[in-house]
Amino acid sequence: MQVRAVATRADLERFHRFPWTIYRGDPHWVPPLLAERRELVDPRRNPFFEHAEVELFLATEGDEVRGRIAAIHNRRHLETHKDGAGFFGLFECVNEPAVATALFKAAGGFLASRGLQVMRGPANLSVNDDIGLLVEGFEAPPTIMMPYNPAYYQKLVEGCGFQKAMDLIAYRGDASKPIPERAARAIELCQRRFKFRIRPIEMNKFDSDLEKIHQVYTQAWQDNWGAVAMTRKEFEHSAKQLKWVVAPELCLLAEVGDEIAGFSLTLPDFNQVQIHLNGRLFPFGFLKALWFKRQINAVRVITLGVLPKFRHMGIDNAFYCESWKRANALGMPRAEMSWILETNAAMNNALLNLGFTLSKRYRVYDRLLVT
């Protein structure tokens, strides 16, 4: 067996297609769109590479791929947190500790050579993409933009010396059930007292609303563990990718007077479509997508933030309530809220009070690098 950096287009294609080997026969795996995965690691098309370096590695035995991994040197993360952390991601591996050990050795060597002290992950490619290793909740497919992996990955990763850094929690709710009366009454009282309003994004004012959303995005999470604000180019790139799956009714802004106070984005769970496409939209996947899109019955609350000066007004609960009602009206009563830091007591308690239940747990790991 050998581990080597991806150097050719053929290597890169093998890197992208390897997950089909790992997940063959797994009914809960959602094949990624190959075009999207190619764009993710393309420095010419992904603005993430303006402040990051990524090295891709393949583990092979003869002509057979046995594993893959990405080593990620994110300078913007280092400027923000100054913690000496590099990242690993896009990790896929057969159930053999020797292969995992070799992959982490290669990724760690790349990061250590750049003066980094910690290897953290998995992150594909950053905290603003899908992040964490699934360690609890294997009974159902992941929702849109959430990771998935075999249960044995936890043993492989921890067997290579990684220790828990943070857990990320996913909650499940049922919007067809009425909002608990006490919670609904509290939200109504907060709206009257603090005079905020919740409204959907206005497509005829898309650019100005997008500017407000970016303002929230760069300020609302700046103190959170691991948070790194997207650059404007990254933000616009992400918005462009999501535009065709966004339901405007579920993209909500909170305003107090003329000021933006918060933002919430809920997406139809396009994974319910993507699971049927086998990684391709064209030539026939697009027709399948149109068919299965009409059958989506679930949403994911993908992000929710309130600017610091407007916190403790109940805006977060109002977002949950409004998203709940709107998703149900669109025929999408199943809802996932993800992800929430395990240390975020306020949000965890708010979701439990609204009747949500913990459905999945994702873990981010750290390992010291030997220099």
Mean pLDDT of the chain: 93
pLDDT of residue 96: 98
Residue predicted with more confidence, 284 or 78: 78
Q: Token digits for 141?
A: 């497919």
On whether the CB atoms of residues 170 and 363 are closer than 8 A, the answer is no
User: Does pLDDT of 138 surpass 80?
Assistant: yes
pLDDT, average across residues 287-309: 91
Q: Are strands 298-306 and 334-341 parallel, antiparallel or unpaired?
A: parallel
User: Does pLDDT of 338 surpass 90?
Assistant: yes
Polymer length in residues for the chain: 371
pLDDT of residue 107: 98
On whether the CB atoms of residues 41 and 114 are closer than 8 A, the answer is no
pLDDT of residue 334: 93
pLDDT of residue 347: 84
Say which range, 37-41, 127-131, 221-225, has the weakest mean pLDDT. Answer: 221-225
Most confident among 134-138, 198-202, 321-325, 354-358 (mean pLDDT): 134-138
pLDDT of residue 224: 87
Give, rounded to a whole angstrom, the gap between the first and last alpha carbons of the chain: 24
Whole-Å CA distances, 15 to 1, 38, 40, 133, 353: 16, 10, 13, 19, 43
Name the nearest CA neighbour of 272 among 144, 113, 122, 88: 144
pLDDT band at 371 (very low <50, low <70, confident <90, very high): low
What is Dmax (Cα atoms) for the chain? 69
Q: Are strands 298-306 and 85-93 parallel, antiparallel or unpaired?
A: unpaired
Residue 341 has φ and ψ, to the nearest 5°, of: -60, 140
Whole-Å CA distances, 267 to 83, 253, 296, 341: 33, 15, 11, 20
pLDDT of residue 241: 86
pLDDT of residue 177: 79
On whether the CB atoms of residues 316 and 350 are closer than 8 A, the answer is yes
Q: What is the pLDDT of residues 181-193, one digit of tens each?
A: 888 898 999 999 9
pLDDT of residue 204: 81
Amino acid in the structure at residue 63: D
User: Does pLDDT of 285 surpass 80?
Assistant: no
Q: What is the pLDDT of residues 226-264, one digit of tens each?
A: 999 899 999 989 988 887 788 999 999 999 998 999 999
On whether the CB atoms of residues 170 and 361 are closer than 8 A, the answer is yes
pLDDT band at 6 (very low <50, low <70, confident <90, very high): very high
Say which range, 18-22, 135-139, 354-358, has the weakest mean pLDDT. Answer: 354-358
Can you tell me the distance from the alpha carbon of 361 to that of 358, in angstroms, rounded to the nearest whole number? 8
Residue appearing with tokens 């950053």: 126
Amino acid in the structure at residue 172: R
pLDDT of residue 179: 80
Q: What is the CATH number of domain 173-361?
A: 3.40.630.30
Q: What is the CATH number of domain 2-167?
A: 3.40.630.30
Can you tell me the distance from the alpha carbon of 339 to that of 4, in angstroms, rounded to the nearest whole number? 33
The residue ranges of every structural domain in the chain are 2-167, 173-361
Residue 333 has φ and ψ, to the nearest 5°, of: -75, -20
Question: Is 173-361 in the same CATH topology as 2-167?
Answer: yes
